[in-house]
Amino acid sequence: METTRRDFIKRTLLLGGTLLFYPAPLYATKKEEAWRPAYAKLEEEGKFARKIEEAYSIFEDCHLCPRQCGVNRQKGEKGFCRAPLKPVVFGAHPHFGEEVSLVGNYGSGTIFFSNCNLRCIFCQNWPIAHEGKGKEIEDEDLAGMMLYLQETGCHNINLVTPTHVMPNILNATRIALKKGLRLPLVYNTSGYERLEIVKLLDGIVDIYMPDMKFMDGDQAAKYSSGASDYPEVTAKAIIEMNRQVGVLKTDSNEIALRGLMIRHLVMPNRVAGTEKFVKWVAQNLPKSTYVNIMPQYRVEYKAYEYPKISRGITVNEFLEAIEWAKQSSLTNLDPKSVAVYEFYRHRRSS
């Protein structure tokens, strides 16, 4: 039986709703009343609509990301990411596995977009990112998902792999804003972003959460579909993100409101260049920048075909990664990752 768009949206929301059969939290409501997201201020200044127009015009000769395919997505042409004009969504629900300051008590309101402009061969979400599993929806439906996540008490709207659907996200955010959306947007990206596009997002996004996957162009090319410019391009994008939102700020309940949160996945055989990464952060950003050095690499998708990354990381590889970060005087490491580090270090010494 064919699934209609309406069925899909209903099912997607119900999936999240089953996790959350309790009223929206009182303190979250109070916080939302007191705190205003960047895009609300932009709307008041009369600048949001113009930004959306500018973003949508990019679809005609798509250069939303560093691949710069030049296809006309308004006419149905598809580029490297294989994304159509309308957003394709795999799911939308409160997520409790994200960073503690995003999850809080009621979850991070996560929307998973299908397709991807980077397409790593070790992708942990490959059915969504590579195969495009999901359902095409309208911008109005996307706005409805945002509002639903807010109603359930989520602390933010966490946009996973947003790069190739950025104009749709902006349009949906404005539609939702007019209906009462008040949560910060989390731009949860692979980091493979054009500087010009990040500049366009100035005044819209409150929390940037980019990955920094590699520090070496050859590794990026090998494992991320030829993206040899990844380290250079991502470094510039992250510096601009920091210029816009700065060091992470939280509310009195330690819930993230605005700032930069960088993710770095430790890979086997030092493929990710972790030592170089932490030194780069220390030299180019405030030492109090939030950095999550993640231990959860697993062999997914085609990674088993590449000997260097066809195993999980060792305890030593994770310990040395956190030690490099400490030696670089980074002061705001993700507490969960530090707890994993402390656990293994203690076990080693006992």
Site residues, ligand SF4 (CB under 6 A):
62-65, 67-69, 71, 79-81, 83, 117, 164
89 closest CA partner among 141, 35, 33, 157: 141
Nearer to ligand SF4, 68 or 253 (CB): 68
133 closest CA partner among 85, 73, 164, 88: 88
Amino acid letter, 33: E
State in angstroms the smallest separation of the CB of 194 from ligand SF4.
Answer: 9
Nearer to ligand SF4, 117 or 156 (CB): 117
- Tell me which residue has its CB nearest to ligand SF4: 79
Nearer to ligand SF4, 42 or 71 (CB): 71
Nearer to ligand SF4, 180 or 226 (CB): 226
State in angstroms the smallest separation of the CB of 71 from ligand SF4.
Answer: 5
Distances (CA, A) of 119 to 110, 257, 316: 20, 29, 28
State in angstroms the smallest separation of the CB of 300 from ligand SF4.
Answer: 21
Amino acid letter, 205: V
Nearer to ligand SF4, 65 or 282 (CB): 65
Coil, strand or helix at 222: helix
State in angstroms the smallest separation of the CB of 169 from ligand SF4.
Answer: 13
155 closest CA partner among 103, 116, 113, 190: 103
State in angstroms the smallest separation of the CB of 313 from ligand SF4.
Answer: 29
Distances (CA, A) of 213 to 29, 197, 271, 291, 332: 36, 20, 9, 13, 19
Nearer to ligand SF4, 225 or 337 (CB): 225
State in angstroms the smallest separation of the CB of 81 from ligand SF4.
Answer: 3
Counting runs of H as helices and runs of E as strands, what totals does the chain give? 14, 9
What phi and psi, each to the nearest 5 degrees, are found at residue 213? -85, -40
